[in-house]
Amino acid sequence: MRSLRSRLEFTCRVVVFGLLGWLLGTSVIPTGGRRAETVAAADVASRLVAWTRAPLNVALHANLDATPAPWIVDWLAALAHSGHPLTWTGAPSALAVSAEALADPRGGARVDVAAPPGALVTVRDDASEIDSVRVSRLGGTVTTPVVVGRVIASLGGQSAVAAAPESAGVRAVVIVGGAGWEGKFIAAALEERGWPVIARFAVAPGVQVSEGQGGSTALDTSRVAAVIAVDTLLQGLGGAIERYVRSGGGLVLAGPAGLAPAAASMAPGALGPRTRPAVLPRDTIGLGATGFYPVKSLVPGALALERRSEGISIAARRVGAGRVIQVGYDDSWRWRMAGGPGSQVAHREWWSRLVAAAAYVPAGRSPPHDDGAAPLAAMIARIGPPRPLPAGTSGLGRVDRRIFMTLIMIFLLAEWASRRMRGLR
């Protein structure tokens, strides 16, 4: 019995000294094999402190089903920069959002989202939900009259955040052409919306009249947001119109205005002969019910914005720093005057959107850069693309050294108790 106790005490001492030696040795000389600690996305934040204290031979790996908060990504990037082996896998949603002020007298913002095709993205601000958009191809757009705080786009468990834009100040719109119904009612529609309008109409050969809220019709982006040409009298502006557009101004070519030689170098395409619908318009007239000039032979870089069975009715392109929109319709005033209920409002909103799409808008104060607007792209830029665990690593995870300290205390107590029971100190 005495021999058995002696063996037990000896064994306890050997185990204690062995554990102490192993702890000391692995602290001074890291083991050759690389261990790995893998955590889920929900546990990354709670493990950052422990990961920071981990030896460099411990590979750190995160399984991410959503992009972590920016501060967590910053911490992970700092760990990778300090030499810790850091990898991640998973498939967070590729989501991005941007918010820009609308060029509209009533203010508002346009929110653009990018996400995988077919995804349903919910858009909200700090006050409430704004809308949802089903992504076609690569992105979608939502407009809102007001934004409170931040703009937040959500897809599944992923969120992208953009700062609310400052309101864009609007400048005057110059309408050029012969005195007629189309120019008259375009001016009326824009003034009703709140746009400052300067009308420059020809009433007789060599006789022009100007009226409106803006005074001078000199083409300068400091005073003029866009020019609308309703016919070939645009030619009277000469080279000033092209200089204005290339410096950032907007130009809308309505109806036959695209036939003017001054518009040839800027138009998105050539105009074909005026078409008429196969069926005569009914008593209620809609946009293009009486015909339009189809836009043909689009130049490189031009886009078709609206198509009808007879051809392209609206096209657009960039010219220098400005934008040019070509509209085949030459009698939209009939839609306003002889359309169904609400046609006056629809005509006003339609023309305001056209002008806003082309108008020069002074750049406001840019919000501070925020990685939250495109979280997945920002994370990949900081810590790299998804990668599996390096070869040769063990996925058992790091063993807590407190377990070894507990075992040492247990064996010491067992050896001490055995010696006390034998009457030894």
The partner residues of 189 in beta bridges, in order of sequence, read none
Per-chain mean pLDDT for the chain: 83
Ordered by start, the domain boundaries in the chain are 2-92+389-421, 96-167+366-373, 172-358
pLDDT given for residue 188 in this prediction: 92
Name the band, by pLDDT with cuts 50, 70 and 90, for residue 66: confident
C-beta neighbour count of 396 within 10 angstroms: 10
- Write down the pTM of the prediction: 0.69
Residue 252's beta-bridge partner residues? 228, 325
261: phi then psi, degrees, rounded to nearest 5: -55, -35
For the cut 50, the answer to whether the pLDDT of residue 396 exceeds it is no
Backbone angles phi, psi at 17, to 5 degrees: -65, -35
What phi and psi, each to the nearest 5 degrees, are found at residue 76?
-60, -40
Give the pLDDT confidence score for residue 222 in this predicted structure: 85
Q: What is the pLDDT of residue 397?
A: 45
Residues forming a β-bridge with 76: none
Q: How far apart are CA 181 and CA 187, in angstroms?
A: 10
Interstrand relation of 58-63 and 86-89 (parallel, antiparallel or unpaired): parallel
Decide if pLDDT at 243 tops 70. yes
User: Is the pLDDT confidence value at 394 over 70?
Assistant: no
**If you compute the radius of gyration of the chain from its CA atoms, what whole number of angstroms results?**
35
Rounded to whole angstroms, the Cα distance separating 392 from 363 reads 54
Least confident of 21-30, 148-157, 376-385: 21-30
> Which candidate, 62, 128, 116, places its Cα nearest to that of 89?
62
302, 308, 311, 314 alpha-carbon torsion, rounded to 10°: -30
Give all strands of the β-sheet with 129-134 in edge-to-edge order: 129-134, 120-125, 150-155, 158-163
The pLDDT of residue 345 is: 92
Confidence category of residue 285, pLDDT binned at 50, 70, 90? confident
Pairing of strands 250-254, 322-327: parallel
CB of 29 closer than 8 Å to CB of 57:
no
Give the per-residue pLDDT at 189. 92
Flag whether pLDDT at 346 surpasses 70.
yes
154-158 average pLDDT score = 85
**Confidence band (pLDDT; 50, 70, 90) for 240?**
confident
Single out the residue of 362, 337, 309, 338 nearest to residue 186, CA to CA: 337
Return the HEC string of the chain: CHHHHHHHHHHHHHHHHHHHHHHHHHHHCCCCCEEEEEEEHHHHHHHHHHHHHCCCCEEEEEECCCCCCHHHHHHHHHHHHCCCCEEEECCCCCCEEEEEECCCCCCCEEEEEECCCCCEEEEEECCCEEEEEECECCEEEEEECCCCCEEEEEECCEEEEEECCCCCCCCEEEEEEECCHHHHHHHHHHHHHCCCEEEEEEEECCEEEEEECCCCCCCCCCCEEEEEECCHHHHHHCCHHHHHHHCCCEEEEEHHHHHCHHHCCCCCCEECCCECCCCCCCCCCCCCCCCECCEECCCCCCEEEEEECCEEEEEEEEECCEEEEEECCCCHHHHHHHCCCCHHHHHHHHHHHHHHHHCCCCCCCCCCCCHHHCHHHHHHHHHCCCCCCCCCEECCCCCCHHHHHHHHHHHHHHHHHHHHHCCCC
CATH of 96-167+366-373, one of 3.40.50, 2.60.40, 1.20.58, 3.30.420: 2.60.40
172-358 is classed CATH 3.10.180? no
Please state, in angstroms and rounded to a whole number, the distance separating the CA atoms of residues 329 and 314: 8
pLDDT tens profile 304-313: 999 988 889 9
In terms of Cβ atoms closer than 10 Å to its own Cβ (0-12, 13-18, 19+), residue 252 is buried
Nearest to 220 by CA among 181, 250, 195, 196: 250
Q: What crossing angle do the helices spanning 181-193 and 343-358 adopt, rounded to 10°?
A: 80
Q: What is the dihedral of CA 235, 237, 238, 244, to 10 degrees?
A: -120
**Backbone φ/ψ region at 168: left (φ over 0), alpha (ψ -120 to 50), beta:** beta
